[in-house]
Every structure is written in structure tokens, then in C-alpha cells.
């Protein structure tokens, strides 16, 4: 018989607001880049909170933090919850943070009630989920799952030439444990949806069935810079003109295939008002819920870049940056989340995640699922990101119910 435990929504909300002050921005968001001093401060806060509950905090060489709450049978692998505490440069109060603090509220509720689970529980703070300072994203969970090596992680540099390894050392969060050495029985992650579906359908929570496929690229089109006033249009090798044509075609490709395409970073060189750009560098993010369709989209995008460059007598280069196949979640864990929403009478629906999450990598090594919480207008990666106290509480309550139900299965 499961205990009838209720999380404290106000306590969860207060933790969200308290941590939002660490790296808080004038517009009400958070700037807490991975492995910055602000990241160190929130990590210190997280560690203190977990240790106050009697948890033992472990740290691996990737900087991932694992707070272990003992269970009746310590021979069992822990049931894990988690997400990340780093943010975008102009991030909101809920992206990632809700997953860690929602899990912390579960631990506080169990601690307050003196409830002992059969299996140990583990609350995780993953390193560098956002990929804002060091790219690619989700690197801590990727190293945990064996998708990247520690050496690959350490070698990545930020815009100032600081390596990720040096930054990790500088904030004092390079642990001694090998990533992946602590194996999970299962992993649950709560997160705001970051999309408009739940809000539009007036639903509090989403039952996440998987994550769509994602491919990132670094692209370059190289023409020739020349004088803007003396070079006739027909004689130009204009890299920006080629880029503009390619960008328009890539947008059409995404729409035609029911997928997504985003060019998030664009730089023109040499960057003078009266010089025709000789080089364009840009990123390309393409997504679809089906791997085969995404492959077709990427091929079409590469052809579009090649044809646009050739049409302007320019060269081109497309280099892969990140490749994440579509990742379905575990049916048993999904059922546990669904049962929790039904027990609580919460309006919900099944949903596929359009964004990448650390759960994408944990799903490669253990049963995994996610719980989505409604966010206003689906707005995220923005200082105006907003969710309600009630919805955050509902998500944490679903998390608690699902974890306890899974634990009771033995």
C-alpha cells in the first residue's frame, strides 16, 4: 500500500524563487552559464540542501552531482530523478531548474514524513545541459551514458578560449568518480514543456513518450570579399546572398516535411559596411520525430546549401556538430506517470518532446521517462518564461507518485 504523501507546492515555489536570485537578471530571468561562478554558487546551495536531508552527495569527473537518499535495500540500484541547474544567457526560472528542485521537493516530502523507500533514491544535477557556453549541449549526461568521452568534454572551449575542463576545475566541481559508475534502476525527469501544446489545450501536465531526433551542423559558405561600390552585381561572389537563398530553401524543406529547422547563429566576414561578405558561418539545427524523415531533410538542406553556393561561385562546408537519434521512453515508466495523473485527476495528454534533454542520454542506459509541466504560451529560453505554482506542484506530485509506484514494484 502506497503512502498518501503530498508535496508542498509553496515550498517548491520558494526554492524556485530563491535559486532564481543566483544569477538573476534585471528582467526577471537567470544568467547562470555552465561552470561559471553562478553555477558554482547554485551547486553549493544544492549540495547543502541535499546533505541537510541526510543524503550523501557524490560528484563524478564530469561534474555531475548525485545526491543519494538511502533505501531499505541498499543492494538495489537507485531510482533517479533530475535535470540541470545551468541556464541560457537570458534564461528563465524554470527550464531545467524545475527538474532538480521538483526532485528535491520529493526528497523533502519523504524526509518530513519519515518515509523509507525500498530502493535508494538519487537526485541528479547534470553538468552543462544547455550548451550555451560550451557546445554541444547535454554533455554531462552524454559522458555519463558513454556518448562522449571525458577527454572530448574537457577539450571544448568557450568563446574566450577557456576549456570546459579548466572551467570545471576552477569552480571546484571535478569529482573523482567515473561517469556511469553509479548505475540507475530507472530515471524520471520533470521539465516545463517549452512548447505551446499543454497551454493551448489547458492541460497541467504531459506524459512524455519520447524525444524527437536532432542534428546540429556548423556550416560555412566561402565566396570572395570585394568593394561594395565598384563590383557590379553580376561579378560578385557574395557569400551572404548565397546564404540567404539557402536559408529560405531550408525553411521550406522543414515545412514540407513537418519538421523543424533553425539557423541560430550567423556571422558575416569580414564585417564591414562597404565590403561584400566573403564568408558566412552559420549553425543549422534540424529536428523530426522520425529518424528517416530527418535524414531526408538533412540531405535536402545540404543540397540547398551546395546549389546556393555554386550559384554564386562560392565554396561551402557542412560539418556535423551533434547527432541525437529519436529516443522512445520506457513503457513501464510511462505507465507509472499515466497512472499518477489518473490517480490525481489531473488533465494531461501524451506528448513527444521537441527539445533535447538529459533524459535522451539516460534512456540509452536505463529505463527513462519525463513529465512535462505547462508553461505560459510555450515560451522558454527567455527571461519571460513562466509557469504557475499550481502546475509546478502538480508536476512534482506526479513525480512523487510515479517514483513511489515504481519503487513498490520491487
Q: 114 Cβ partners below 8 Å, 6+ apart? A: none
Identify the DSSP state of 137: S
Domain 9-212+326-408: state its class: alpha beta
Query: For every residue of 16-35, which 3-state class applies, written as one string?
Result: HHHHHCCCECCCCCECCCCC
Q: What is the pLDDT of residue 190?
A: 98
Q: What is the DSSP string of 152-216?
A: HHHH-B-TTS-BHHHHHHHTT---SBPTT-S--SEEEEEEE--SSHHHHTT-SEEEEEEE-EEEE
pLDDT per position as a tens digit, 269-323: 999 999 999 999 999 999 999 999 999 999 999 999 999 999 999 999 999 988 8
Longest dimension (CA), the chain: 82
Rounded CA-CA distance 141/144 in Å is 5
The pLDDT of residue 136: 87
C-alpha distances in angstroms, 166 versus 41, 55, 150, 155?
17, 28, 13, 9
**Full-model pTM:** 0.87
Contact 317, 263 (CB under 8 A): no
**Cα separation of 299 and 165, whole Å?**
34
Task: Answer for the pair 239, 221: CB distance below 8 angstroms, yes or no.
Answer: yes
**Per-domain residue ranges of the chain:** 9-212+326-408, 213-324
- CA 79 to CA 403: how far, in whole Å? 7
Residue 356 has a pLDDT of: 87
Does 381 belong to an annotated binding site? yes
Confidence at residue 3, expressed as pLDDT on a 0 to 100 scale: 63
Q: Model confidence over 232-256: pLDDT tens digits?
A: 999 999 999 999 999 999 999 999 9
For 311, the 3-state DSSP assignment is helix
Residues 6 or more apart from 222 whose CB is under 8 A from it?
239, 278, 279, 314, 315, 316, 317
Grid cell listed for 283: 549553425
Give the residues of the chain that fall short of pLDDT 70: 1-3, 410
**b/e burial code for range 146-171 (CB count within 10 A of at least 16 → b):** ebbeeeebbebebeeeeebbebbeeb
8 A C-beta contact, residue 393 and residue 12: yes
Count Cα atoms within 13 angstroms, Cβ side, for 236.
Answer: 20
How far apart are alpha carbons 43 and 64 in whole angstroms?
A: 10
Cα 46 vs. chain centroid, distance in angstroms? 19
What CATH class does 213-324 carry? alpha beta
Looking at residue 358, its pLDDT comes to: 97
According to the annotation, is 95 in a ligand binding site?
yes
Amino acid at each position: 500500500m502506497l503512502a498518501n504523501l503530498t508535496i508542498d507546492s509553496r515550498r517548491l515555489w520558494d526554492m524556485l524563487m530563491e535559486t532564481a536570485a543566483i544569477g538573476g537578471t534585471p528582467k526577471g530571468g537567470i544568467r547562470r552559464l555552465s561552470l561559471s561562478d553562478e553555477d558554482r554558487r547554485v551547486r553549493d546551495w544544492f549540495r547543502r540542501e541535499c546533505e541537510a536531508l541526510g543524503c550523501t552527495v557524490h560528484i563524478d569527473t564530469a561534474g555531475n552531482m548525485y545526491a543519494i537518499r538511502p533505501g531499505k535495500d541498499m543492494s538495489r540500484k537507485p531510482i533517479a530523478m533530475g535535470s540541470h541547474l545551468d541556464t541560457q544567457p537570458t534564461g528563465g526560472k524554470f527550464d531545467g531548474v524545475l527538474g532538480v528542485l521538483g526532485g528535491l521537493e520529493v526528497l523533502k516530502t519523504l524526509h518530513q514524513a519519515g518515509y523509507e523507500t525500498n530502493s535508494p533514491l538519487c537526485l541528479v544535477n547534470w553538468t552543462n545541459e544547455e550548451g550555451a557556453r560550451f557546445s554541444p549541449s547535454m554533455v554531462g549526461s552524454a559522458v555519463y551514458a558513454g556518448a562522449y568521452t571525458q577527454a572530448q568534454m574537457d577539450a571544448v572551449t568557450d568563446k574566450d578560449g577557456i576549456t570546459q575542463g579548466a572551467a570545471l576545475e576552477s569552480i571546484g566541481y571535478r569529482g573523482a568518480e567515473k561517469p556511469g559508475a553509479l548505475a540507475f534502476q530507472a530515471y524520471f525527469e520533470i521539465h516545463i514543456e517549452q512548447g505551446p501544446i499543454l497551454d493551448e489545450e489547458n492541460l497541467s501536465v504531459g506524459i512524455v513518450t519520447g524525444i524527437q531526433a536532432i542534428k546540429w551542423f556548423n556550416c560555412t559558405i566561402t565566396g570572395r570579399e570585394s568593394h561594395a561600390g565598384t563590383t557590379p552585381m553580376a561579378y560578385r561572389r557574395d557569400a551572404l546572398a548565397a546564404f540567404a537563398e539557402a536559408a529560405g530553401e531550408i525553411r521550406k524543406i522543414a515545412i514540407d516535411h513537418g519538421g523543424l529547422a533553425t539557423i541560430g547563429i550567423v556571422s558575416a566576414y569580414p564585417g564591414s559596411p562597404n565590403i561584400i561578405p566573403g564568408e558566412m558561418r552559420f549553425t543549422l539545427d534540424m529536428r523530426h520525430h522520425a529518424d528517416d524523415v530527418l535524414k531526408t531533410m538533412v540531405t535536402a538542406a545540404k543540397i540547398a546549401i551546395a546549389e546556393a553556393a555554386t550559384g554564386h561561385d562560392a565554396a561551402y562546408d557542412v560539418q556535423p556538430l551533434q547527432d541525437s537519434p529519436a529516443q522512445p521512453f520506457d513503457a513501464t515508466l510511462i505507465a507509472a506517470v499515466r497512472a499518477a495523473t489518473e490517480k490525481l485527476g489531473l488533465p494531461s495528454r501524451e506528448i513527444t518532446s521537441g527539445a533535447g534533454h538529459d533524459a535522451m542520454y539516460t534512456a540509452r542506459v536505463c529505463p527513462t521517462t519525463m513529465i512535462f509541466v505547462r508553461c505560459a504560451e510555450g515560451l522558454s529560453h527567455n527571461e519571460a518564461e513562466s509557469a504557475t505554482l499550481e502546475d509546478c506542484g502538480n508536476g512534482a506530485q506526479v513525480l512523487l507518485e510515479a517514483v513511489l509506484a515504481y519503487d513498490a514494484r520491487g
